[in-house]
Structure 1
Amino acid sequence: MKEQLLKMFKRNLLVDMMYIDKNNAITKRRIKVTKITNDTFSAYCFTRHANRTFTIENILALKPVIQKERDII
């Protein structure tokens, strides 16, 4: 999972993440990764509108947010 996270960080992508929080509840978050350490990473969470620190081992799934560009006529 850490390798996927590193790829998304290097590509500066927004990420949809399924995560187990500290209360063992499963949450879905849209994040932008700002820093990665050994066991944790920091990201701006668009769900909470704040910077958060997450534990890498609590990630259930990661999916990059792909935005299609629209043509302007």
Structure 2
Amino acid sequence: MKYILRKHLEGNIPLEIIYLSEQGKITQRKIQVLEINPGHIRAYCFLRQTKRTFKMNNILSARLIKPRYDRSG
């Protein structure tokens, strides 16, 4: 997980995470990793449109967001 997060931080590439909140809710988030700290990350959350802190242990999965291609041209 740390490897994926670090690669996206270095490449300034947004990614999608599945996250378990403190209330036990599972959410899907598009984030831009800003910094990686022991036990948590700071990231811009596109859903909330603000910087958020995410606990590493609560990130269930992370994946690259595939670009959408315009098929009109």
The answer, yes or no, to whether TM exceeds 0.5 is yes
The structure 1 segments of at least 4 consecutive aligned residues displaced by more than 4 Å after TM superposition are none
SS of the aligned residue for 1:66 comes to coil
- Name the CA distance, whole Å, in 1 between partners of 2:12 and 2:68: 16
Q: How many residues end up aligned between the 2 structures?
A: 71
CA apart distance, 1:69: 6.7
Structure 1 unpaired stretches of 5+: none
Matched with 1:23 is: 23
2:50 aligned with 1:50: yes
Amino acid corresponding to residue 17 of structure 2 in structure 1: M
Matched with 1:5 is: 5
Amino acid corresponding to residue 15 of structure 2 in structure 1: V
Structure 2 unpaired stretches of 5+: none
Percent of paired sites with the same residue: 32
- Name the CA distance, whole Å, in 1 between partners of 2:69 and 2:26: 31
Amino acid corresponding to residue 7 of structure 1 in structure 2: K
Matched with 2:62 is: 62
Amino acid corresponding to residue 12 of structure 1 in structure 2: N
- Name the CA distance, whole Å, in 2 between partners of 1:13 and 1:36: 14
